[in-house]
């Protein structure tokens, strides 16, 4: 697309104005609940309800089964994200290119989530989870493209902070609310499916896009699309380093957070009931920390006109957080981990989206490029559960922490070579 449709009429890129127009204020205010609702699904399912559902079905093989389901699902998501991006970029409708996929994806994803609650075998759950991943990624990808579509670069730090805040509040809020449905998992899935559908539908209604049916559609070439998965580190070094940093930071964090409910039981040594009780308590600690971190980091990043220093700082804070349970394998240690990791990951989320939007190689394929770089978030969801499962079974959960520390430190180092963004 040569001219991304926008309901705000704000030019894209560095030449755009930096004042908050009324449409931008509305967009900023509605992006928060939209992202909260979207990521509540992931926070409640992958981090809690899915783990409990699999544990109830086969407690003796829970690690291997969870690893299988999450790995296959994330692999499908990794493929779906860039595919959703290119389909969205090429969509022509009276509602613009993004809205049909945001609403349609949330509807189909919700139905798949409800179906997952009815699963009685690991294979049934896995098939439903694949559908959940694909459908919700077809909603999430176009939602991510709203930032480069409509927001001038001078305001992207603030918008990125709101998006990052929504991501973390959704993940944490999903765990908190999800714990209420630990004994009635199918109902929980139904509730989160409804929340996502309502919030995302309201988002596109309140922020209508322009009719783009008159815009020419470039010819789709499969080989060109497949080449888009390759990030040439020589031609686009900043995109490559940002991709690498995002991948490593997410992988290090997910090494522990994905298995948190099992870590509490098998590493800390609490009962399953106690683990469910502790999850929302830790989530509240993390939420408070990320609120402070995100709301400070995003606007400060805009004011200082710097992104990289916040990514590097977040990697250091996350490394410190991962040290705590390693040295203090207690309920208090896990609580401190939740608090400090909230500070670190909140800082990362606050500027990550802004940094990404400023290193995209193509000005015509926002959603596709975002889909490709979102592989850096979904690929760890593929690798981390599989790797963490093998490590936990072979060496115990204790080894997840030093490996996670190494990955987040490398993630911070990776963005240092970025040159086009300070």
403 to 41, 323, 331, 397, 400: CA distances (angstroms):
27, 11, 21, 11, 5
- pLDDT: which is higher, 119 or 255: 119
Residue 17: pLDDT above 60? no
Residue in the structure block whose two tokens are 């998006």: 163
Whether the CB-CB separation of 196 and 110 falls below 8 Å is answered with yes
Q: How far apart are CA 268 and CA 270, in angstroms?
A: 6
- pLDDT band, very low/low/confident/very high, at 353 (cuts 50, 70, 90): confident
Third-level CATH fold of 22-210+231-414: Growth Hormone; Chain: A; (1.20.1250)
Cα gap 367→293, rounded to integer Å: 28
pLDDT band at 312 (very low <50, low <70, confident <90, very high): very high
Is the per-residue pLDDT at 44 higher than 50? yes
pLDDT given for residue 374 in this prediction: 64
More reliable by pLDDT, 373 or 257? 257
Cβ pair 417, 241 in contact under 8 A: yes
Extents of the domains making up the chain: 22-210+231-414
């Amino acid at each position: 697309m040569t001219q991304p449709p926008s309901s705000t009429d704000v030019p894209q890129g560095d030449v755009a104005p930096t004042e908050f127009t009324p449409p931008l204020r509305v967009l900023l205010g509605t992006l928060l609940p939209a992202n909260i609702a979207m990521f509540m699904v992931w926070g409640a399912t992958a981090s809690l309800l899915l783990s409990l559902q699999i544990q109830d079905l086969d407690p003796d093989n829970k690690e291997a089964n969870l690893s299988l389901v999450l790995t296959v699902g994330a692999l499908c998501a990794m493929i779906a994200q860039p595919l959703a991006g290119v389909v969205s970029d090429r969509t022509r409708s009276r509602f613009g290119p993004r809205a049909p996929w945001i609403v349609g994806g949330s509807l189909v994803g919700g139905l798949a989530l409800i179906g997952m609650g009815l699963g009685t075998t690991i294979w049934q759950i896995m098939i439903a989870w694949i559908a959940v991943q694909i459908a919700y990624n077809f909603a999430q990808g176009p939602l991510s493209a709203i930032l480069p579509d409509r927001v001038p670069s001078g305001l992207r730090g603030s918008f990125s902070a709101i998006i990052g805040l929504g991501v973390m509040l959704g993940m944490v809020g999903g765990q908190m609310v999800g714990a209420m449905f630990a004994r009635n998992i199918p109902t929980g899935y139904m509730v989160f499916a409804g929340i996502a559908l309502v919030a995302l539908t309201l988002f596109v209604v309140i922020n209508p896009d322009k009719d783009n049916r008159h815009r020419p559609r470039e010819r789709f070439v499969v080989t060109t699309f497949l080449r888009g998965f390759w990030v040439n580190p020589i031609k686009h070094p900043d995109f490559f380093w940002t991709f690498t940093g995002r991948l490593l930071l997410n992988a290090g964090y997910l090494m522990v957070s994905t298995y948190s409910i099992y870590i509490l039981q098998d590493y800390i040594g609490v009962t399953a009931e106690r683990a469910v009780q502790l999850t929302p308590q830790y989530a509240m600690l993390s939420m408070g920390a990320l609120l402070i971190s995100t709301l400070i980091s995003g606007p400060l990043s805009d004011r200082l006109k710097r992104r990289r220093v916040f990514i590097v700082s977040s990697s250091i804070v996350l490394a410190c957080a991962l040290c705590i349970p390693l040295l203090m394998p207690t309920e208090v240690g896990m609580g401190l981990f939740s608090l400090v990791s909230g500070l670190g990951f909140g800082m990362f989320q606050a500027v990550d989206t802004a940094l990404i939007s400023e290193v995209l190689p193509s000005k015509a394929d926002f959603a596709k490029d975002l889909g490709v770089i979102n592989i850096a978030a979904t690929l760890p969801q593929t690798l981390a559960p599989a790797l963490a499962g093998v490590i936990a079974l072979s060496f115990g959960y204790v080894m997840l922490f030093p490996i996670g520390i190494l990955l987040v430190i490398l993630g911070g180092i990776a963005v240092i070579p970025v040159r086009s963004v300070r």
